[in-house]
């Protein structure tokens, strides 16, 4: 056997190089060896395995910069094995695992555990993030330099905001010496603590305590001042309001080292999805108004919002089958982030290349990863997408251990039909 695999008859799409052309590529030993426009059978090296893409989009594998994987400590909700199966089915080839586990990832040994466990059990790449503060208590910053040397690609306290301005200032200042990325959950804690959904007419009618949208922009604007003071790299995760997007757009215009992401549920749903107390739609930050949702879409379109994330947050039934205010925050999303993003392509709200950029090149650059691009020598982490395949999001298709999706029974168009990690197929819809 030659060890070569040739993908032919593909629509190559690579945001990193702006490539959008008919062609194919050849991979060997887990890396891309050659990219050839118009690649056809006569050009394939002798002995290579040939995969006919039948005109479908062949792009870099998706990179999810924010997902909770359960291990260690909450394996009843999710494991790296089950999460990676779901990720592969969703076209995701790399997951940045949130540090908010039990125990949380605030020591070198725990960073090493996540990396080792991923190598042993996951079928996609899993890279660890680590906590900004010890125990996620928001009081004392961790030894971020040592954690980065152990393999942490970014630092975040997960769904818990760093409320102290002094602690955030110290974290950003420390991070500059190592060129580390600080990821913030953008909610002012004292304003968000007692709320369960977006504050407004809907929350009043349902009798559910609300989280005012100003809680988000207050935190973002405070942090942007600290970035300006320290020069630290800063990322606002799961941005959800028009005011926050405007603030970040202005910060970028001033040249600050700032990025942000949007979760799929914040551009695909608004607060009306809560309906009659549907706890699967309880997320943090909460689903916002339609005006805010449209602002998120616009922020994706113009590039203010750099990345799309799943914000995959699995919960067992006991955590969700509670009164709305007491139910846990979060929705699973590894298998649904791509089709939900493709909705914006099909409705002509965001160009396909921009969406793929937010799912590949941008998160790779943000996290300092070698993947996220079609280039000679790059990892052969790839996704084959059927843009037009109709299907319906149903619980029976979920490979996650938990099933708490905010999108149950939603019709969609387009999905991953093959996912390749380091040159090996880890998901093939036609063999499913």
Give the residue numbers marked as catalytic. Answer: 311
N- to C-terminal Cα distance for the chain? 26
**Tokens for 6?**
């040739």
Residues near 157 by Cβ (< 8 Å), separated by ≥ 6?
Answer: 99, 100, 131, 132, 133, 136, 138, 185
How far is residue 189's CA from residue 163's CA, in Å, rounded to a whole number?
A: 6
Helices (H), 53-164: 80-89, 108-121, 144-149
Nearest-CA neighbor of 74 among 104, 94, 95, 96? 104
**Tokens for 343?**
């909705």
Residue whose tokens read 């291990």: 71
How far is residue 48's CA from residue 418's CA, in Å, rounded to a whole number?
A: 18
φ/ψ of residue 403, rounded to 5: -120, 20
**Cis omega (within 30 of 0) for bond into 317:** no
Q: Are 91 and 385 in contact (CB under 8 A)?
A: yes
Beta bridge partners of 11: 22, 57
Task: Check the CA dihedral 398-404-408-414 and report its sign.
Answer: negative
| Cα-based distances in Å from 60 to 45, 169, 345, 353, 429 | 22, 36, 17, 12, 18
φ/ψ of residue 315, rounded to 5: -140, 145
How far is residue 65's CA from residue 239's CA, in Å, rounded to a whole number?
A: 14
């Amino acid at each position: 056997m030659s060890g070569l695999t040739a993908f032919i008859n593909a629509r190559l799409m690579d945001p990193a190089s702006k490539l959008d052309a008919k062609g194919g590529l050849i991979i060997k030993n887990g890396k891309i060896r050659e990219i050839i426009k118009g690649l056809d059978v006569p050009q394939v090296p002798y002995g290579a395995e040939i995969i006919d893409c039948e005109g479908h989009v062949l792009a870099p594998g998706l990179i999810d910069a924010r997902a909770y994987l359960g291990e260690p400590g909450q394996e009843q909700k999710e494991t790296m094995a089950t999460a990676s199966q779901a990720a592969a089915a969703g076209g995701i080839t790399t997951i940045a695992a949130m540090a908010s586990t039990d125990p949380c990832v605030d020591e070198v040994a725990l960073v090493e555990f996540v990396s080792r466990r991923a190598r042993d059990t996951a079928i996609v790449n899993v890279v660890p993030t680590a906590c900004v503060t010890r125990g996620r208590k928001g009081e004392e910053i961790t030894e971020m330099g040592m954690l980065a040397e152990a393999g942490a690609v970014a630092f975040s306290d997960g769904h818990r905001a760093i409320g102290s301005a002094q602690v955030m200032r110290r974290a950003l200042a420390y991070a500059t010496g190592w060129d580390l990325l600080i990821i913030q959950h953008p909610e002012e804690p004292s304003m968000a603590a007692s709320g369960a959904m977006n504050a407004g007419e809907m929350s009043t009618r349902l009798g559910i305590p609300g989280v005012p949208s100003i809680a988000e922009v207050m935190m973002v604007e405070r942090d942007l001042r600290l970035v300006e003071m320290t020069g630290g790299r800063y990322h606002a995760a799961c941005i959800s309001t028009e005011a926050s997007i405007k603030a970040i757009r202005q910060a970028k215009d001033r040249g600050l080292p700032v990025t942000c992401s949007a979760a799929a549920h914040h551009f695909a749903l608004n607060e009306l999805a809560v309906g009659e107390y549907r706890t699967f739609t309880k997320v943090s930050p909460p689903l916002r108004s339609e005006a805010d949702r449209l602002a998120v879409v616009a922020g994706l379109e113009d590039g203010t919002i750099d990345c799309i994330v799943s914000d995959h947050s699995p919960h067992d039934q006991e955590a969700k089958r509670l009164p709305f205010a007491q139910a846990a925050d979060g929705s699973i999303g590894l298998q649904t982030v791509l089709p939900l993003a493709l909705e914006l392509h099909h409705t002509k709200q965001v160009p396909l290349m921009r969406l793929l950029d937010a799912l590949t090149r941008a998160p790779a650059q943000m996290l300092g990863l070698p993947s996220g691009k079609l280039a000679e020598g790059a990892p052969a982490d790839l996704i084959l997408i059927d843009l037009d395949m109709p299907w319906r999001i149903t619980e029976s298709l979920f490979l996650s251990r938990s099933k708490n999706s905010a999108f149950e029974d939603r019709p969609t168009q387009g999905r991953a039909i093959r996912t390749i990690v380091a040159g090996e197929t880890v998901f093939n819809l036609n063999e499913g």
